[in-house]
A and B are shown apart, each in its own frame.
Chain A
Amino acid sequence: MAQKPKDPTRHSTYLPLDKKKSSKAFHSTPMLDQLESGPWPSFVTGLKRLALDNNMMVDLLGQLEHSYKTRLGYWKGGTVSVFGYGGGIIPRFTELMGKDGKPMFPEAKEFHTLRVQPAPGNHYTTDMLRKLSNSWNKYGSGLIAFHGQTGNIMFIGTTSEKTQHFFDEINEYGWDLGGAGPCVRTGMSCVGAARCEQSCANEQKIHRLLVNDFLDDMHRPALPYKFKFKVSGCPNDCMNSIQRADMAVIGTWRDDMKVDQKEVKAFVKGKGRKYVIDNVISRCPTKALSLNDDDTLAVDNRNCVRCMHCINVMTKALSPGDDKGVTVLIGGKRTLKIGDTFGTVVIPFKKLETDEDYDSLKQLAHDIIDFWAENGLEHERCGEMIERIGLVNFLEGVGLEVDPNMINHPRISSYVRMDEWDQEAEKWNQRKAAG
């Protein structure tokens, strides 16, 4: 520790070994013990504190130390669920057996996790945090991760039997399981309109609308693989949706960015022209900004790509426009199996004002998931299917029109059959004429 705590009983390092109530003696954990020093709060001290009351955590520490020593993991999956659902639980059984074929750390031989969906924006009252913690302490290890990488509250460590009791208790006061397995997964959305001036969408509404419309596909896994919704209120994409979501919904605007010239002048005065030119004007990716001689800002809005950089720097002077909506991208995912894929724009701009607007977003999600459920291979993410069949086949499958906003540049290979060119050109002309 950098400093001695003022009140050692109210500190992340507190570990009253004299108050140990669990009946099982601690295992020797020389490697884990090395993670108790240093300024960052230690999860090992946390695990030990739980082990003061709980034999399961005593043995969990034993197994974890064994992993540290041998550099191998010792959990295997299985099938555990709650009545009425097929997913949402990550079952873990120890694989670490002694010479007698029995678990080396029997109290932690079952150590299942429940994935529970948080509210959009991960808001809690302290009352609710304590209530969830009390319930979990009653039926599980007491250990909760806020939050897993998909966005769930992870209630880590309980037995098959207590899984049901815990779920029954928290389900009664408003919490539902998330996704695990080949299903619609728990969604994520940023703090957004609740506290951020850059928000261009009602993130929590989109999040709840989409996910809550697919609860059957979440709780009863039957899709080719996982499907994730993520909602970011602006192109800063704090939810990492382009790289991590099968369907990314990102707030944006299509009218002019708002400029408060008085605040621009104040900013230039405070920071200096060089700072503004080096960090705002010349960092615009499409050269859409220019500093006028009177220290006001000129914006070429037709060439602004809504990257957010200048708005991030000059938070008081600049802000998104009023004609807000969303951009939708499909098919982002991490490495397995074909390598990382970004999401691809399939809807450049969509207004989300009326109930019909929101319904059509929901319908789009249904069309996409239905098409993928029909055409995706086992264990194939939506983005991988698009890679395999080509974007055009996907768009035709879900009933979307082509748009030049979907590409970085047109095709560079002539190896394609184009005998329907005239019909396709005519479609474009008709769409343009229809406005």
Chain B
Amino acid sequence: MADMRPPIESGVPDPFQYMHPLMIKNFGNWAYHDRPRPGVLHHVAKSGDEIWTVRAGTQRQLGPYEINLLCDIIDKVGEGYVRFTIRSNMEIMVSKKEKVEPLIQALNDAGYPVGGTGNSVTMISHTQGWLHCDIPGTDASGVVKAMMDDLHEEFVKEDMPNRVHITTSCCQINCGGQGDIAINVQHTKPPKINHDLVANVCERPSVVARCPVAAIRPAMVNGKPSLEVDEKKCICCGACFPPCPPMQINDPDHSKLAIWVGGKNSNARSKPMFHKLVAAGVPNNPPRWPEANAIVKTILRAYKQDAKDWERVGDWVERIGWPRFFELTQLPFTKFHIDNWRGSRNSLNASAHIRF
């Protein structure tokens, strides 16, 4: 214990020590912004100062090679300051317009796409998946890499009706968050229980309490205390798996992907919206998940063709109605699209409003 060092509980660091000097100088005193080209933001302060931001897509997981490669560019062509967006894009700030094009060139030369601003498909927000999570039904970085390869053109341009935020999640907890399009694991079979391990590994009352539909109860199995699942009630959500790993929910074939659309975090125009189910039963198919990718591209194509300027995916579907969405995307409509969770009747059509 002698060499144990007590922590300095410094908490959240002061951001001003890492901020571009123009951002410090004009803190709280910005006048307006515009976007001279995709991937570039131009902010003008009330003082007349101007700052240009170049936004680059990254693989999110960075090692010393990438960090030094990017930092060398930022030091040489930029001004030594960088920040990250909530979607893992790098933002490099410079004080002179003349530095923007060389910076874009240097980033592109190093293999980093510049874009993700305005009405683009920006970087997919994602989780850890098989790389590091203890409960993942799929990978995260791999799904994102495969999808961003296909959507690269939409990242570097601003050709969508409004911004498109895609998210992925490797389990039904949905750590990736709400998205215009969300690709999330959806289990389709109840957990397979390893009764030999439950008594030693799981705190049984906690596991019983975790189940959203009260389908789990304590039981003696083969003379050992264990748990059993009422499979008729089970909704295969996987909530029991994190507190009790012997309740294996992940399955190479039965853990599928589901696709959801219309989530929106912003308050712009409509209030924030949750995403809604549009497709399920999609195979979890590494390394490039072509089936999920194809559905996402189908939805994006329909949105790009049919939505009006400034409509997010959710705004667009509200205007055209869900029957038209399924018509335009040619995705099957099933009984599973009709909600039966709490508050579900609010999602039913209680009117004579029908589009023909």
Contacts and interface: CB of A to CB of B under 8 A. Distances in A.
Interface size class of A (residues with CB under 8 A): 35 or more
Given A167-B7, A197-B30, A12 B63 contact: no
Nearest to A240: B265
Interface in B47-63: 51, 53, 57-63
B308 A278 contact: yes
A303 interface: no
Interface string B220-237: 000000000000000001
B212 A338 contact: yes
Of B13, B71, B83, which is in contact with the most chain A CB atoms at under 10 Å from its CB? Answer: B13
A146 B88 contact: yes
A41 B23 contact: no
A82 interface: yes
A123 B174 CA distance: 27
A134 B135 CA distance: 30
B66 A83 contact: no
A215 B11 contact: yes
Interface in B106-153: 109-113, 125-139, 141-142, 145-146, 148-149, 152
Given A146-B62, A283-B269, A306-B267, A219 B130 contact: no
Interface of A: 1, 5-7, 10-14, 31-32, 34-35, 37-44, 46-47, 49-50, 60, 64, 67-68, 70-77, 82-85, 90, 92, 111, 113, 117-130, 133-134, 137, 142-149, 151, 154, 156-157, 167-168, 171-172, 174-177, 187-188, 190-191, 193-197, 199, 202, 204, 207-208, 211-212, 215-216, 218-219, 235-240, 242-244, 275, 278-279, 283, 285, 305-309, 312-313, 315-316, 319, 334-340, 342, 377-379
B36 interface: no
Interface stretch (B96-104, B175-183, B299-307, B323-331): B175-183
A124 B70 CA distance: 13
Given A92-B134, A111-B132, A307-B268, A117 B11 contact: yes
Contacts, number: 373
Contact of B8 (A32, A172, A188, A279): A172
A240 B177 contact: yes
A133 B272 contact: no
B6 interface: yes
Contacts of A12: 59, 66, 69, 110-112
A190 B72 CA distance: 26
Interface size class of B (residues with CB under 8 A): 35 or more
B267 A308 contact: yes
Nearest to A76: B134
Of all A-B residue pairs in the complex, the 8 with the closest CB atoms, nearest first, are A38-B149, A12-B111, A67-B130, A71-B252, A119-B15, A235-B267, A197-B30, A212-B11
Contacts of B270: 285, 307
Contact of A5 (B59, B65, B74, B111): B111
B206 interface: yes
B67 interface: yes
Contact of B209 (A243, A283, A378): A378
A146 B75 CA distance: 19
B10 A340 contact: no
Contacts of A283: 269, 310
Interface of B: 4-15, 17-20, 23-24, 27-28, 30-34, 43, 51, 53, 57-69, 71-72, 74-75, 80-86, 88, 90-91, 93, 109-113, 125-139, 141-142, 145-146, 148-149, 152, 172-178, 206, 209-210, 212, 237, 239, 245, 250, 252-253, 255, 263, 265-270, 272, 274, 284, 286-288, 308-310, 341-342
The A interface is mostly helix, strand or loop, or mixed, namely loop
Nearest to A327: B267
B139 A68 contact: yes
A279 B245 contact: no
A177 B11 CA distance: 7
A83 B74 contact: no
B30 A195 contact: yes
A305 B267 CA distance: 9
A76 B245 contact: yes
Nearest to B66: A46
A309 B38 CA distance: 20
Contact of A194 (B27, B139, B266): B27
A280 B251 CA distance: 49
A35 to B, nearest CB: 5
A240 B67 contact: no
A71 B7 contact: no
A39 B12 contact: no
Nearest to A305: B267
A38 B272 contact: no
Given A32-B287, A306-B267, A67 B139 contact: yes
